[in-house]
A and B are shown apart, each in its own frame.
Chain A
Amino acid sequence: MRAWLLYGVLWLAMLALRHDFWWWDDRRLVLGFLPVGLVSQAAYSLLCVAVMAWLVRRCWPAQLERLESDE
């Protein structure tokens, strides 16, 4: 049950973070060639790498690996 709560909270947090309305119509260019809205979404993608690395450590279905070794 705690795992499902974690999944739910994580889902909502990532949904909210992706929706970065504060950059919505910002035309500034980062380093002169990258639109700030694109940089923020690219940063979100990198955050996803970190979140997935954490999830794989924290919520890995270890019972499936036991099933493998039972075979």
Chain B
Amino acid sequence: MIPALIVFAYLALVLYLGIFAFRRGSGTGEDFFLAGRSIGPFVFLFSLFGTNMTAFAILGSSGLAYQRGIGVYGLLAASSCFVIPFTLLLIGTRLWAHGRRFGHMTQVQFFRDRWECSGTGTFLFVLTATMLVPYVIIGVMGGGATLEALSTTVGPDGQLTHWVSYEVGGAIVALVVMSYVFLGGMRGTAWVNTLQTLLFLTFGVAAFWLIGARLGGYDEVLQRLAGDPRTAPLLTRERISHPEFFSYFFIPLSSIMFPHISIMCLTANRVSAFRRTIVLYPLCILLIWLPSVYLGVVAAGEFPGLGPGQTDDVVLRLLRTHADAWLAGLLGAGIMACVMASDSQILALSTMFTEDVFAWYGGRRRFGAAAEVWTGRLFVVLVAVLSWVAAQLLRDRVGIFELAVRFAFSGYAALAPVMLAALFWRRSTKRGALAAAAWVALAVGGTWYLHATSVPPAPGQPPVPIFPALGGLLLRSAGGVSVYGFLPVLPMVAVSALLMWGVSLVTRPPSEPTLRRYFPEPR
């Protein structure tokens, strides 16, 4: 019960941060949605990293490492170590500059202004918002499940007692997130994300060493794993194919295209705030992911025989078994904080709806600027309530949302060429962007359809062709659909870039005054 009490204390603290941020706010739209573009380098680094670090970084990566071994680090974390800071340097800094000069608060505002378009912007809004919704729902689901797991006690007869149920846990998480986002807006969200990152970096490393000490050192555990033919492959990348490993390098392109990340880029007070973030980002990834993946492999020796659906809580199991209640509670609060990363996504949806729909289609003109903040706040409440309802109604379908999140990663990654073209290519056009975005929507939907309608091979068997007449073009493995063994993200990014380029060349570019605003340097 102690872990649950510490988690509740943490929830009270983040609520207080929201109230404190509310008192610091000026009440304008820019202040609520972007913290008045005033975030300094320290908070910018940790809030951006915390926003990107979802429950998957801790729970999902450990669970996946339990099944597939140490290669999970290279698969997801090492690729992010290069690609995410690289895109922050190339794209994030430019987005920040345009936002500051022209007052944009969302990606769609930038696209509309850059390409002189309305409908294409609306299409991009619908696409990016739709791909974000599953994240918010899965955050509430994760909150309920984590709070239930942390408050579970085992009686002398082995009977499990859940002091906080999944339903109540989800409601508490949704209520707390809703409250501090409602009150504190971006400032509250950035502060909470900074707290969560520092908490997890500190206690995560401490827990790693303490669990190792309780196990009598990791040497013995790893030697045992290496000596057992069933677990020895976990110390290698034997369970990951070369094409899959290669493809994952392109997945982190999605990061900068997530609405909540690009909006976060607009909050920096100076462009120099990006410097430290870009350099230290890979180090933060290393400190969070390395222990998580390593503990997932260690758990395979400690709790053998868990199936794919039972491995997401292996870190919590290790904590329950090997850490004392206080440390388990502190780390539980850290895990809870990661699960609650849906805060910035809820705020991003609210910002997008308010700016890209409400304000764009006449709301600002009719009701005034003050109505914007209240529209945003009401939307925060609406999203939080609907997410909780969805989390209850679809609890046994969590797999669908996990799948949606996986497809969304590829979808956002495939939108990266659209952003690059907007920022760096004068000749790019709204029709090119529309063609690329339509392709992304089609490809995400098509991949989903193929995944849902094809039959995966038995575990341990090689992938099977989905359409035998096409040979190895489209393959189905237990993990999903692939194209000649590569993840769909590769052709999705390539075709999106080609469409952006080809269609732009044959359609009319924006007017010269607009081009001069965005490309003031002489050609």
Chain A residues engaging chain B, CB cutoff 8 angstroms: 7, 11, 14-15, 18-21, 23-27, 29, 32-35, 37-38, 41-42, 44-46, 48-49, 51-53, 55-56, 59-61, 63-65, 67-68, 71
CA distance A7 to B283 in the complex (A): 21
Give the tally of cross-chain contacts (CB within 8 A). Answer: 125
- The verdict on A51 contacting B82 (CB below 8 Å), with A45-B283, A60-B275 known, is yes
**B interface size (C-beta, 8 A):** 52
CA distance A28 to B237 in the complex (A): 12
- Identify the closest chain B residue to A70 (Cβ): B101
Say whether A35 contacts B222, CB under 8 Å. yes
Verify if B324 is at the interface (C-beta below 8 Å from A).
no
Say whether A15 contacts B249, CB under 8 Å. yes
Which of B93, B226, B279: most chain A Cβ within 10 A? B279
For B78, give its contact among A18, A49, A61, A64 (CB under 8 Å): A18
Say whether B85 contacts A32, CB under 8 Å. no
Which of A20, A21, A49: most chain B Cβ within 10 A? A49
CA distance A33 to B291 in the complex (A): 13
Say whether A38 contacts B293, CB under 8 Å. yes
- The verdict on A45 contacting B78 (CB below 8 Å), with A21-B242, A52-B278, A64-B97 known, is yes
Verify if B364 is at the interface (C-beta below 8 Å from A).
no
Say whether A24 contacts B237, CB under 8 Å. yes
Verify if B271 is at the interface (C-beta below 8 Å from A).
yes
Say whether A42 contacts B73, CB under 8 Å. yes
- The verdict on A37 contacting B286 (CB below 8 Å), with A15-B249, A55-B86 known, is no
For A65, give its contact among B226, B232, B271 (CB under 8 Å): B271
Say whether A18 contacts B235, CB under 8 Å. no
Verify if B480 is at the interface (C-beta below 8 Å from A).
no
Known: A55-B89, A61-B271. 11 other contacts (CB 8 A): A27-B232, A29-B222, A35-B222, A37-B74, A41-B73, A44-B74, A56-B275, A56-B279, A64-B96, A65-B271, A67-B101
> Chain A residues near B97 (CB, 8 Å)?
61, 64, 67
> Chain A residues near B281 (CB, 8 Å)?
52
Say whether A33 contacts B283, CB under 8 Å. no
> Chain B residues near A26 (CB, 8 Å)?
236
> Chain B residues near A21 (CB, 8 Å)?
242
